[in-house]
Structure 1
Amino acid sequence: MKSWCALTFLWLAHFCHGALSCPALCTCYYRRAEVVCNEVPLTEYPSKGLPTNTTMLTIQFTNITSISEQHLSATPLLQALQLYSNHLQDLSPDLLRGIPHLHTLDLTENKLSDLPAGVFSHAPLLNLVLKNNLIENADAEWLHGNSSITWVDLSGNRLTKVTAALFQKLPHLDNLDLSNNRLEKISANSLDPLTKLERLNLQNNKLITLDASLLQSTRNLTYLFLSRNKLNKLPQGLFQELAQLKHLSLDDNQLSHIPAGLLDPLHSLDEEGLDLTANPWLCDSKVEYLWRWLQKNKKKVFLPETITCASPQSLVGRSIMSLTESELNLQS
């Protein structure tokens, strides 16, 4: 009996010691199985001492430059991994193979550029954040077919294009952020696989126009951000299928006119849900559609009085809504 009790005590002591271990320079929250290594002088991944039951791991503001499958295998129950603002330069193709429960991977603000094929294909990811890296090509080969991912953030990279092949592997995507890149064009029909998309952020790119069919399959879209591009014209039927859209930002572009009927399908816009400010509107007879639409939908527009004429000279600075039919040379 004494021998059995002694063995039990030793086993419990060993178990508790292992469960309560914690890497140097990190903080472990045992009850919620979380480890945080924040703003510490780490140069290597802290595999040693990580509790094996860890489900949430944050390593941020360190000098770590690489991470491998072997490092992550120390925490096989991991569900969320945040590696924000380190110095990661490359990733192993089998990086996620040993963590089959991972649903969130955040690699924001590292130095990643070329990523290997299959790098995100070994875990049931739902959220993938690659914000503020050095990525020039978003490769479809990163993923296996029919990925479960619902949120992709590729903002703040060096993308000049995105391929339809990537979106074909993301049929469950509902949130896509491509803002703050160098996109000059998005191919017609490239977004067709994204039938569940609800939020699309394309702001602060170099888009000049958009194909009329681009948004024809994204009928669940509720938020569309197109601010700070170089859009100088929009096709008439661009928003034809967006009856669910609540917010549309077109501010800070190069729009002088919009085609008649463009905004008519947007029945679900929130109050102040449309932003048209900071465009060089030409206040001639072609602005009639926008003028009439603004009169009827003032509450849906953000700061409607600041949507002003950039020309002709006689109307510069005038609010479009304040114009009269005679000033626009319209026939009653």
Structure 2
Amino acid sequence: MEICVLLVLVISKTSNAGYFKWITKAVSTQNLMCPLSCKEITGLYGHFGGAPDIKCCAYRSRPIWLIGKSTSSICELYLKNSGTYHCSKNTIFYKIIHTNTYMTSIPKRLLHSNQTVEIDFKFNKIENITGSDFECFPLLDTLDLSFNKISKLENTTFFKLKNLRRLDLSRNVIQYIEPRTFSYRPGSLLFINLRGNILISVDVTNVFVGYWFSKLYFDFNRISKFTNQLHWKMENVSGGGDIFMGHNNMSHLPNISDIGFTRRSIVKIISFKYSLRLGGNPWFCDCKFAWFVPLLKLARKNFDVGGRMVCKYPISLRETLAVCVPEDLFVCNISVEQKCPLSCNCFEQPSKKRVVVNCSHSRKYKIPSAFPQKANLDIDLSHNFIMIFENRAYLNRTVAINLSFNKIKVLDPLVFSIQTLKIINVENNQITDIHRNIQLVQNGRKIVIGNITIECSCRKKWIANWLENQNRLLVRHDRIVCRQINEELITFYMTDNCIFRKKYLAYEQYLILGSFLIVLIATLTRLIFKYEIYLLFRKFRHKFKLNVINPVEQSSTFDIYISFSEDKEDISKWVIGVLTTHLETIGFKVCLPPRDFDLGGVHVDQIMNYTASSKNYVVVLSDDYLKTQYQVIEWGHIWNKYKRNINSNILVINYDMLHSKNIKDQRLKAFLRLQYSIDFSNFDKKLLKKIENEFRCKR
């Protein structure tokens, strides 16, 4: 109690122009003064990290005895062999200094001063420290134990020092730090220096400590991996600060689930909260590294990171900045042991969501029997000597196969029915016949046959219709010529040489069919197109300002609420990095759930509250939209708010270019059928302008 009264008197009697007393939940100490300029910061951390004054004060605040006239109140005690020291009568605080000696432990006989705020024991031979070594220093602000022989830190060593702000343990021989050594609360740690030790791993709880701090130095160690000994999970994204982990032995990124993160939480951590300095490590820029680069690029908009993070492997990317590597070059090679065929080049390419097996010009006479046990195979067997294209089990995991420039004469009919096989290229072969099963290649799948010659037959007249449709859909010019006696006939004219009878339906059949169609159309109009009718009627009301029955519009917190599938990386990257940035730049207030929702809150309640406080809505439609329960709830709230407010607007962005027949939700289907949506194809390069104009006219 006497100590607290003494501090209050010192702070109240001291003139500290340009500073204010910093009292915050971020730290326990009440001895810090922060520059007034920190209250005016609204820049780098203000928008993304939140709490800009906390971030500024964490870095620039100073204890009261280092500011203004109070500097005369601290006495430096240089400990001598006799243990005596001399200070003036005005002394209030003490700094104990004992450096460049052969001291191997903390001297117990000197731990008697409750007013000690700084201890400097650097350049000694101290080997072990425990919590009892410092429990008699309740006001300790700065502890410098650098350049000693400390090898281990326990999580009970500092937890009683709730006022400890600066901790320097650099240039020791620390090999192990117990989990949660620095994350204790109440506490005030803002600067932690572990630079130049011999750590080979670090627990995730000692890096993402869960509170605001300024600097955490782990650089110039031997760290190659993160551990999670307590099976910790990031439940609430809180705090933040600068983490320096450069010049270690990290070559591969950890599995985010193993260290307690989810894909959603890692976006907030890396891009908005904690700035990771990872330069000087021997990074292996392969396919497992690719997911981190978009986060790093997003983080560079908020923090000074990534500028020294260069690739060491593979050799082709050595000394290249990771953020400058084209995404297609982040690949993982697949070895022969992983079933890559001999003389082939196999690699996984996440940017195109495929596994490439390049066996072109490999002098193969038949299709290999085994391929890598992975999905989305893209196989290139062109320019070989293969004669038969036969069905294999791995084709069910294949999305494309190129067999052009071979000697193929026979195509296995079963191949055409494989739905996962989207592209088949068999041009420039020796094909002499086509099976009817080739007509099964439809619904976005395509086959390239080039120019071939077959035997003419009226049983093959179907080929003419199929080929005409094939060339129209693929915008190409495959050509099939049939050979008959002494001449060749283009298949388009094959039907002219075939005599067949046309059968006509009886009058009764037409009558029954017409009646059935009338009933069917009436039923479909009532059951299927009710939402289309509603949207048309709504547009009519809005156009002629028939809004008299609409309630008075309430004020909204957000201009636009964006609903999208957060699990798809490409959509999240576009929505967060492009769409949201553009809308906010031109003045719209945007609600972005992965950024604005509280990760620890009730998700359903947040959906209800944030949709209710938004005026307009953007729905980024993808093939997995409405696959989760939360998205169904979110879309339901958006539709209900839209129905209640005639001035509200829903803009559907068809990201995956879906056809309305592939949409199960009748409300979304209605938007696509009426073309009340914007395709993401953006052929005229005016996608963002169209989105902007859609909402400008509603303001």
TM norm structure 1: 0.56
Shift of 1:31: 5.7
Which deviations, in whole Å up to 9, do the C-alpha atoms of 1:109-130 show, x marking residues without a partner?
1111122233223333112211
Match of 2:308 in 1: 226
Partner Cα distance (1:145, 1:198) in 2: 10
Structure 1 CA distance, aligned partners of 2:179 and 2:226?
A: 16
Opposite residue 106 of structure 1, the aligned amino acid is D
Cross-structure match for 2:241: 174
The question of whether the paired residues in 2 share the 8 Å contact of 1:35 and 1:58 is answered with yes
1:39 and 2:125 aligned = no
2:215 pairs with 1:134 = no
Higher mean displacement: 224-233 or 84-93: 224-233
1:114 aligns with 2:196: no
Paired with 1:214 and 1:133, the residues of 2 have a C-alpha distance of 29
Alignment pair present for 1:24 and 2:100: no
Deviations 1:154-188 (A, max 9, x none): 11111113469698888433312111100102357
After superposition, what is the alpha-carbon deviation per residue over 1:53-104, rounded to whole angstroms, capped at 9, x for unaligned? 1112111110110111111112111111111010011223211122111122
| Counterpart mapping for 1:113-262 below 5 A | 113-122=175-184, 123-142=187-206, 146-162=210-226, 171-187=238-254, 190=266, 192-196=268-272, 200-209=276-285, 210-211=289-290, 212-215=293-296, 218=299, 219-226=301-308, 229-230=311-312, 253-254=319-320
2:118–2:143 contact (8 Å) kept in structure 1:
yes
Whether the 8 Å contact between 1:231 and 1:254 is mirrored in structure 2 is: no
1:65 equivalent to 2:127? Answer yes
**TM-score, structure 2 normalization:** 0.29
The one-letter code of the counterpart of 2:95 is: E
Quickly say closer, same or farther: Cα 1:148–1:168, change in 2 above 3 A. farther
On the 8 A contact 1:140/1:169 being kept in 2, the answer is: no
Q: Please tell me whether the aligned partners of residues 73 and 98 of structure 1 are also in contact (alpha carbons under 8 angstroms).
A: yes
Percent identical among aligned pairs is: 17
Q: Deviations over 1:214-269 (max 9, x none)?
A: 3255241124442665166999xxxxxxxxxxxxxxxx8157x95679xxxxxxxx
C-alpha distance in structure 2 between counterparts of 1:38 and 1:205, whole Å: 33
Q: Verify the 8 A CA contact 2:183 2:210 in the aligned structure 1.
A: no
CA distance in 1: counterparts of 2:235 and 2:215, whole angstroms: 14
Decide whether aligned partners of structure 1 residues 105 and 169 sit closer, same or farther in structure 2, where only a CA change above 3 A counts. farther
Q: Secondary structure at the match of 1:149?
A: strand
SS at match of 2:98: strand
Bigger strand fraction: 2
The answer to whether the 8 A contact 1:198-1:220 is kept is: no
Does the CA-based 8 Å contact 2:207-2:243 persist in structure 1? Answer: no
Aligned to 2:439: none
Query: Retained in 2: the 8 A contact 1:105–1:128?
Result: yes
Is the 8 Å Cα contact of residues 118 and 142 (structure 2) preserved in structure 1? Answer: yes
Aligned to 1:81, what secondary structure does the other structure show? strand
Q: Which amino acid aligns with 1:111?
A: V
Question: Between Structure 1 and Structure 2, whose CA radius of gyration is higher?
Answer: 2
Q: Secondary structure at the match of 1:33?
A: strand
What letter is aligned with 1:99? L
> May I ask how many residue pairs the two structures share in their alignment?
228
CA shift for structure 1 position 207: 0.7
Moved more, 181-190 or 98-107: 181-190
Quick one: structure 1 residues 172 and 49, their matched pair in 2 at CA, closer, same or farther if it must change by over 3 Å?
same
Whether the 8 Å CA contact 1:23–1:49 is kept in 2: the answer is: no
Aligned in 2, Cα 1:145/1:200: closer, same or farther, shift over 3 Å? closer
1:76 counterpart residue number: 138
Q: Deviations over 1:287-310 (max 9, x none)?
A: xxxxxxxxxxxxxxxxxxxxxxxx
Pick closer, same or farther for the CA change 1:152–1:132 going to 2, 3 Å: same
Is the CA contact (8 Å cut-off) linking 1:151 and 1:173 kept in structure 2? Answer: no
Report the CA distance shift for 1:208/1:69 in structure 2 as closer, same or farther (over 3 A): same
Q: Give, as a single letter, the amino acid of the residue that structure 1 aligns with 2:149.
A: H
Q: Decide whether aligned partners of structure 1 residues 54 and 170 sit closer, same or farther in structure 2, where only a CA change above 3 A counts.
A: farther
Distance 2:138 2:168 in 1: 18
Q: Which fold has the larger relative contact order, with Cα–Cα distance below 8 Å and residues 6 or more apart in sequence?
A: 1
Q: Output the CA distance in 2 between the equivalents of 1:142 and 1:176.
A: 11
CA distance in 2, matches of 1:166, 1:131: 26
Of 200-209 and 57-66, deviating more is 200-209
Does structure 1 conserve the Cα–Cα contact (< 8 Å) formed by 2:204 and 2:226?
Answer: no
**Residues 119 and 143 of structure 1 are in contact (CA less than 8 Å); yes or no, is this contact kept in structure 2?**
no
Partner of 2:573: none
Q: 1:206 to 1:168 in 2, by over 3 A?
A: farther
Deviation at 1:37, TM superposition (A): 1.7
The structure with the largest helix share of the pair is 2
- 8 Å CA contact 1:23–1:46 kept in 2: the answer is no
Change (3 A) 1:200 1:116: closer
- Asked if residue 100 in structure 1 is aligned to residue 162 in structure 2, the reply is yes
Structure 2 counterpart of 1:253, one-letter code: E
